[in-house]
Chain A
């Protein structure tokens, strides 16, 4: 369908483009938004409301659009809820209206509106109860929500930029531009964000003179000067929230997610000059397609040459309606009447406005004072406006003026939202009929309409002053120069008017929040049911929620609530909006944390070897670790059993590089470690290592590992893989606080040393073969827990004889560059790799802690470490171990478990109960595995001490996995209790 002859507007370019809306092809013009092209094509019906499915058309020209939300793209790759007013068309774009079935013109669910109050305030608390919510759930789910979530949508990754600047200015209207120029002239580094694709704000369509030039020329000149001064101007970029001085600005060129940039801006000072949002006046059926904001009609005309209708009635409560009417008239719109709620003799109406009125009357425009539009007639489009005097005869019924458009303006609400997210103060300004910025900090100021200024001269002066002060606060010492002088439309001189008179039933058709179908009747219901605070009313009625976040409805809603309560708007206030100020995609929030980068992963020097040799790498904490190797078996169970069996029978190697390694050095290092560990490090001889346990301040076990003494003043402390970063912070905290001034340092050397575990009866022979003659004698001399330093391949090598498998084993600590050669040499020597699953089996067989036993709640006494406690080292947390609570009979105790029948499987997480109290858990299984060595399932468990006795019979209850397994308490050490194998 053709859009007609070529149009002219500030944002249009020559050349047609075609697009599809609801399956029908239309022609627009380059630069058109979906809204302007559809308007130019005569399309009025653009969507349906979310609750009553009432026909809806365009309401605004900005991102406050509540009605005309479109779905862009073809299923399954769709982007829902894109405001038609912001969406810049591209050739072939496919658009679809929302909230309708089967078609926009005929929507079955729209029959619901015949039910009237069925979906009134709080309906979801009162209905769908009988016989059960489940009865209604499918239908409600089908109807609920805005648009359709994409099933598959591959948007390009979002770009991110972190910026510092002296002054950040949000909004490039007259106030923002004046502020930016003043700040930049003073020498400040300026970033200016404008949510529209072009700067200028209202100056784009309101005529005005600034510094002797047309407003448009002044905007162009100012932007050129800003460029010269090095200011950065970001268009199509909205400051959406702030967090303690870091502002997030979101760029969405063309109004369509896909090429977004998220700016993290940290300024020294901030100027909020985001302008104001025009607010409607509420009347009966004020949601019909054709009822629009007055400013929107001006924008569509100026920017896109698009008429919003043929014949219009203008409805307002201020002087500016007359200047707007004249511009619209000149643009070709037939203005049937101007309905002004104020009396003709209202004080303050100046001669210029009188002259305008007279001119309009001469042009055939009926100008009515002290009147209101009390209703709109029509279904899918406005057919007429019903007008009535606000007092006297005819006030209830009114008369009819045929038209296809009703343009409404109830004043402007300053856009304070982004500031409100930071809890800035606001105050009610009676002259504006809305809230403006209250007290302002030195570093964050408001300018222009946010301060209640709507006269161009005052706006420019205010903006200039804010920019100059912000620059000074940021440390710029130059001169901002004189503020720009300008003149434009007369001040609005509005008389607050929120809604037209209506009868009770008609209040059900007086829509306050168009996006959520909240009516005056809903507010009345909320009040009647005891919801009197504006925040409660918001939540009960859904006033001001959703993508629009109440931009056009909260002030009007507050004013009507005030009327219903018999209070003032100042007393009632408005609800606070939530960040982000402007809807942003989840992808923008996620930033670079998408796909494979959703969480950073740490890799060992052997990572690539594992990946290319069938290692099934999985994230364990931040580390990527091989769970098992495909060569050992096709599934984790078979592979792990085969690998564990192989280690016990022959030997194997495992990648232990993920172990945290902290080098603690200095004359006070030993004493420092004595403080941090349950047993003493100072008694370790050089060349020896010791298994040690850290306590938290409250006496619970924090971590365990080996401590190696490299020299009298130098140690390596190993930590568990998942705790490395935390343990570094723990050590550093005490070094910097309790041990401040002592001569000890902590250095993280985790990545400086790869670690290869070599375990099994043939490990020594394999090592001798790999390390060669220089090491053969030393290897045989190494006692359990000894280590030796030397060289391999010309690089550092540390050989530590320690075992976490119960087998004869060593850990080889080498520089990362040697890890792969050493690993491959060991494989050539006949050892095969084993993964984490097998490692856990080996640990469990030996009764070593696997991981779940260190749950942050267990003490050394719970874990059977009495021998360490008895050493009496007065370490961190030791004193609290003597708390009586830690010795009660209900405290857990680490025990071993086996199935009572010697065959059954039981899994970690199962609750344990006694026969005497089958409904009262006395503990739970912390780890379990099938032991290929013993041929049965083994487990470790934490069980209340009063339930623990050797051979006690318990039941492992696992309702989630559907099993109750009788188990028997046994020693935690299932295999080789005398440790002969590893000490041989």
Chain B
């Protein structure tokens, strides 16, 4: 067994999720300093957990938004700069933790390169659409719910293989 390749895959709690879509064109006024302004930007809480992820151009995800983040998003929507959609149930949160987490994800994508200069990215992992971000030394990802079972099955297969030192 290769301990450097061990990691765990844990399902996060089912939480409310909000998606904000800005209308294209000039950067709207709501983009204040507190918002991630470039795709890949992430706002984190004091424990470094992602609170608001700018996962694609003009698109943000707030998994389990705090009252503050919700208010921020609603205020932005009220200005007419974009649209807030309740996407609760769309995403399944997974935490991949441990020294082998990066190697496990490297089975699907060059994770170090993808997150080299950004905090999050919308990616396809094992054919499953997902949003990927770092969380301290680990990785957190939101997989589209209908794909989650297959994603976990494939990731578990690779996890077992890497653990055995293959």
B86 at the interface (CB under 8 A from A): yes
Q: Is the CB of A752 within 8 A of B89?
A: yes
Q: Which of A5-13, A157-165, A825-833 contacts B (4 or more CB under 8 A)?
A: A157-165
Confirm or deny: B43 has a beta carbon within 8 angstroms of a beta carbon on chain A: no
Nearest chain A CB to B145 CB, angstrom units: 4
- Bound complex: CA of A796 vs CA of B144, how far in Å? 20
> Nearest Cβ distance between residue B40 and chain A, in whole angstroms?
16
Checking A162, A604, A750, A817 against B109 with a beta-carbon cut-off of 8 angstroms, the contacting residue is: A162
Q: Which residues of chain A are near B145, meaning CB under 8 Å?
A: 605, 751, 816
Give the CA-CA distance A394 to B48 in the complex, in Å: 87
Query: Provided the pairs A157-B161, A164-B112, A744-B23 are in contact, do residues A600 and B150 lie with their beta carbons within 8 angstroms?
Result: yes
Among A266, A663, A745, point to the contact of B113 (Cβ < 8 A).
A266
A740 at the interface (CB under 8 A from B): yes
Spot the interface stretch: B31-39, B67-75, B100-108, B132-140. Answer: B100-108
Q: Is the CB of B89 within 8 A of A600?
A: no
Residues of A within 8 A of B87 (CB): 747, 749, 752
CA of A499 to CA of B106, assembled, Å:
50
- Which residues in B have their C-beta under 8 angstroms from that of A157? 157-158, 161
Contact, CB under 8 Å: A597 / B149: no
Interface string of B65-99 (1 = CB under 8 A from A): 00000000000000010110111111100000000
- The residues of A that contact B158 with a CB separation of less than 8 Å are 157, 159-160, 592
**Which B residues between 140 and 164 are near A, CB-CB below 8 angstroms?**
144-150, 153-154, 157-158, 161-162
Q: Which residues of B contact A601 (CB under 8 A)?
A: 149-150
Out of A596, A623, A666, A753, which one reaches B23, CB within 8 Å? A666
Q: A743: CB under 8 A from chain B?
A: yes
A399 at interface (Cβ–Cβ under 8 A)?
no
A160 touches B89 (CB 8 A): no
Decide: B147 and A156 in contact? CB cutoff 8 A.
no
- Interface flag for B47 (CB, 8 Å): no
Given contacts A749-B87, A752-B89, contact A161 B154 (CB under 8 A): no
A815 at the interface (CB under 8 A from B): yes
Contact A164 B23, CB 8 Å, known A592-B126, A600-B128, A817-B89: no
Contact with B110, one of A266, A663, A748, A753 (Cβ below 8 angstroms)? A266
- CB-CB contacts of A141-172 with B at 8 A, as 1s and 0s? 00000000000000011011111100000000
Complex Cα gap A666–B166 (Å):
52
| A686-B108 Cα distance, complex, nearest whole Å | 44
CA distance A261 to B106 in the complex (A): 12
Say whether A159 contacts B161, CB under 8 Å: yes
Take A163-B106, A600-B128, A747-B83 as given contacts and tell me if A753 and B89 are in contact as well, using a CB distance cutoff of 8 Å. yes
- Taken together as a complex, chains A and B put the C-alpha atoms of A240 and B15 apart, in Å, by 45
CA distance A714 to B84 in the complex (A): 11
Least CB distance, A166 to chain B, in whole angstroms: 11
Q: Given the known A-B contacts A159-B162, A164-B113, are A749 and B83 also in contact in the complex, defined by CB atoms under 8 Å?
A: no
Bound Cα distance A163, B154 (Å) = 19
> In the complex, what's the smallest C-beta–C-beta distance from B111 to chain A, in angstroms?
7
Main secondary structure, interface of B, reads mixed
Contacting residue for B85 out of A156, A592, A607, A747, CB 8 A = A747
Indicate if the CB atoms of A600 and B147 lie closer than 8 Å: yes
Contact A156 B166 (CB under 8 A): yes
Within the complex, the shortest CB–CB distance from B3 to chain A, in Å, comes to 17
Instruction: List, in ascending order, chain B residues with CB within 8 A of A163's CB.
Output: 106, 110
* B23-A597 in contact (CB<8A): no
**Judging by beta carbons under 8 Å apart, are A162 and B23 in contact?**
no
Smallest CB–CB gap between B78 and chain A, Å? 13
Question: Do the beta carbons of B149 and A607 come within 8 Å of each other?
Answer: yes
A977 to nearest B CB, angstroms? 37
Which of B111, B154, B166 neighbours the largest number of chain A CB atoms within 10 Å of its CB? B166
Among B21, B108, B144, B146, point to the contact of A747 (Cβ < 8 A): B21
Q: How far is the CA of A603 from the CA of B145 in the complex (A)?
A: 8
User: How extensive is the interface on chain B, given as a class?
Assistant: 35 or more
**Would B161 and A604 count as touching, CB distance under 8 A?**
no
Q: Is B83 a contact partner of A162 (Cβ separation < 8 A)?
A: no
Quick one: CB contact mask for A463-507 with B, threshold 8 Å, 1 for yes? 000000000000000000000000000000000000000000000
Cβ–Cβ < 8 Å partners of B58 in chain A: 745
Nearest-CB residue, chain B, relative to A663: B85
* Cβ-defined contact, A745 with B23, below 8 A: yes
Separation in Å of the A299 CB from the closest CB of chain B? Answer: 29
The answer to whether B153 touches A741, judged by C-beta atoms less than 8 angstroms apart, is no
Distance in Å: Cβ of A623 to nearest Cβ of chain B: 8
Name B83's contact: one of A160, A607, A745 (CB within 8 Å).
Answer: A745
Partner of A745, one of B21, B90, B112: B21
Q: In chain A, residues 152-197, which have Cβ atoms closer than 8 Å to a Cβ of chain B? A: 156-157, 159-164
Q: How far is the CA of A817 from the CA of B92 in the complex (A)?
A: 12
Asked whether any CB of chain A lies closer than 8 Å to the CB of B14, the reply is yes
Interfacial chain B residues near A605, Cβ < 8 Å: 89, 145
Interface residues of A in 595-621 (CB under 8 A from B): 596-597, 600-605, 607
A815 with B88, Cβ < 8 A, contacts A161-B107, A162-B108 known: yes
Nearest-CB residue, chain A, relative to B112: A164
Identify the closest chain B residue to A260 (Cβ): B166
Chain B CB count within 10 A is highest, among A623, A742, A752, A753, for A752
Residues of A near B109 (CB, < 8 A) are 162
Q: How far is the CA of A747 from the CA of B82 in the complex (A)?
A: 12
Q: Which residues of A contact B127 (CB under 8 A)?
A: 600
User: How many angstroms from the CA of A752 to the CA of B14 in the assembled complex?
Assistant: 12
A630: shortest Cβ distance to chain B, in Å?
22
Closest to A724 in B: B146
Q: A159-B161, A600-B126, A747-B19 are in contact. Are A741 and B24 (CB under 8 A)?
A: yes
Residue in contact with A743 in the complex, picked from B23, B149, B150, CB distance below 8 Å? B23
Is A902's CB within 8 Å of the partner chain B? no
- Find the B residue at minimum CB distance from A594: B157
Indicate if A702 sits at the interface (CB-CB under 8 A).
Answer: no
Q: Is A386 an interface residue (CB 8 A)?
A: no
Contact of A391 with B by CB under 8 A: no
Cα distance, A704 to B66, chains bound together (Å):
38
Contact A665 B128 (CB under 8 A): no
| B149 and A752 within 8 A (CB) | no
Known: A161-B106, A161-B107. A156 touches B161 (CB 8 A): yes
Q: Which A residues are in CB contact (< 8 Å) with B126? A: 592, 597, 600
In the bound complex, residues from chain A placing their C-beta under 8 Å from that of B86 are 752, 796
Contact A596 B153 (CB under 8 A): yes
The residue in chain B whose Cβ has the minimal distance to the Cβ of A266 is B110
* In the bound complex, CA of A596 to CA of B86 (Å): 33
Q: Are A597 and B147 in contact, with the CB atoms below 8 A?
A: no
Give Cα A754–Cα B150 distance, bound, in whole angstroms.
Answer: 19
Q: Which residues from B are CB-within-8-Å of A665? A: 21, 83, 85
Write out the residue numbers on chain B whose beta carbons fall within 8 Å of the beta carbon of A750.
Answer: 90, 146
Question: CA of A667 to CA of B77 in the docked complex: distance in angstroms?
Answer: 12
Chain B residues with CB below 8 A from A747, complex form: 19, 21, 83, 85, 87
Least Cβ–Cβ distance between A926 and chain B, in angstroms: 28
Q: How far is the CA of A605 from the CA of B14 in the complex (A)?
A: 13
Closest to B16 in A: A815
A723 contacts B by Cβ under 8 Å: no
> What are the residues of chain B within 8 A of A754 when measuring CB–CB?
89
Measured between beta carbons, the chain B residues less than 8 angstroms from A156 are 161, 166
Give A593's nearest chain B residue, CB to CB. Answer: B127
User: Closest residue of chain B to A795, judged by CB?
Assistant: B88
Contact between chains at B157 and A592 (CB < 8 Å): yes
Nearest 10 interchain pairs by C-beta: A164-B113, A745-B21, A602-B146, A816-B89, A600-B127, A162-B110, A665-B83, A751-B145, A752-B90, A747-B85
Sample (24) of A-B pairs whose CB atoms are under 8 Å apart? A159-B162, A159-B166, A161-B107, A162-B107, A162-B110, A163-B106, A164-B112, A164-B116, A259-B166, A592-B154, A597-B126, A597-B157, A600-B150, A623-B146, A665-B21, A743-B23, A745-B85, A746-B21, A747-B19, A747-B83, A748-B90, A750-B146, A751-B89, A817-B89
For the complex with contacts A162-B108, A162-B110, A754-B89, 11 further pairs of A-B residues with Cβ separation under 8 Å are: A157-B158, A161-B106, A597-B154, A600-B126, A663-B85, A751-B146, A752-B17, A752-B88, A815-B88, A816-B89, A817-B89
